[in-house]
Amino acid sequence: MTRSWLLICTCLLVWLLCCQAARSRFPEDQQQPRIINGTVARVDEARHLVSIRLLRHDNNFGSGHICGGALIAPSKVLTAAHCLYNNQRKRFRRASEFVVVLGTLNRFERRNGTIVSQVTSMAYMHTFSPDSMRDDVGILFLRTGLPLPPAGVHLTVAPIQLAGQVTPPGRMCQVAGWGRTEQSSLSNILLTANVSTIRHQTCRMIYSSGLLPGMMCAGRLQGGTDSCQGDSGGPLVHEGRLVGVVSWGYGCAEPGLPGVYVDVEYYRQWIEERSGALPHSRTNTQMLLFLLLFQLLLRYVLVL
């Protein structure tokens, strides 16, 4: 009887902890970055990593950073859909609201090799939900990406390949981001941390119905090292390939509560099919229809 009551009380405590953490999953500053117990990243392990910023907040270069992302093609960045979403206005932001910075470890430094690009268009799934984090995957297409061959190889920027198969549990991965450390002070320098992929069944036991298709877990079950809100959109890398995207979690580096990531292999076909040719915009759709109607009218006039 005593053991039964102890088990019930333990389960109730975990449930209350999760409820409290769930309420704080989307605070007003939900996109403030944090890497817990990380180390300073090296250039060679972060050439794919980008800083996604709100243009209107980046007057002081580096201050507009909200999310991470990974360069997966010369002008194509993979990130989380909630990084593109304005939670206060309940809508996706416009592409013109963003600026993307590549090729710097210090988010406040703009060096000779640093690329600063506007965003021409975005892609995301209309099934994305900011409440459940379903289909939390997004893409930004850059106006100024990597120069195409034969312009040469960039020293500090390079795309990363997508994972081609499911990453088994227990594999050591790297997650990186700028910002708040375990002392809750913002970091100017890109930090990286080692985390392990966690068996899907274990993750399902922890998060129950909150773990939806296309989600995977990584971290340390004993706690202490983790990504957190605002590292959002940043890459989870295993053996030089992109296997996950930082999505959500309960708390930061809490024991028994690993981080939840977008499973890149699950969404690989959708990611590869997005080319940026048709931006996600009602205005652009209307413009396309206008041009088609104009062409039809012009042909009609010429026939007459």
Domain limits of the chain? Answer: 35-273
Q: For residue range 160-214, list pLDDT tens digits in order.
A: 999 989 999 999 999 998 856 555 566 788 999 899 999 999 999 999 999 999 9
Burial class (CB in 10 A: 0-12, 13-18, 19+), 17: middle
Band (pLDDT 50/70/90 cuts) for residue 113 is confident
So what's the pLDDT on residue 278? 44
How far is residue 37's CA from residue 223's CA, in Å, rounded to a whole number? 10
Find how far residue 127's CA is from the centre of its chain. Answer: 17
58: annotated active-site residue: no
Q: Strands, E, within 211-289: which ranges?
A: 215-219, 226-227, 235-238, 241-248, 259-263
Highest mean pLDDT among 178-182, 237-241, 254-258: 237-241
48: annotated active-site residue: no
Q: Which of 48, 51, 58, 82 is catalytic?
A: 82
Q: Which of 51, 121, 227, 232 is catalytic?
A: 232
Q: Which of 58, 136, 231, 263 is catalytic?
A: 136
Contacts 24+ apart (CB under 8 A), 86-94: 87/26, 87/30, 87/130, 92/122, 92/124, 92/280, 94/281
Band (pLDDT 50/70/90 cuts) for residue 294 is low
Band (pLDDT 50/70/90 cuts) for residue 283 is very low
Quick check: 81 and 128 in contact, CB under 8 A?
A: yes
Q: How distant, in Å, are the alpha carbons of 13, 74, 176, 226 from that of 111?
A: 50, 19, 20, 29
247: annotated active-site residue: no
**pLDDT value at 222 more than 80:** no
The architecture of the domain spanning 35-273 is Beta Barrel (2.40)
Picking from 218, 221, 234, 53, the residue whose alpha carbon sits closest to that of residue 136 is 234
Joined together, the tokens standing for residue 212 give: 């939806």
So what's the pLDDT on residue 185? 60
Q: For residue range 47-82, list pLDDT tens digits in order.
A: 999 999 999 999 999 999 999 999 999 999 999 999
So what's the pLDDT on residue 152? 62
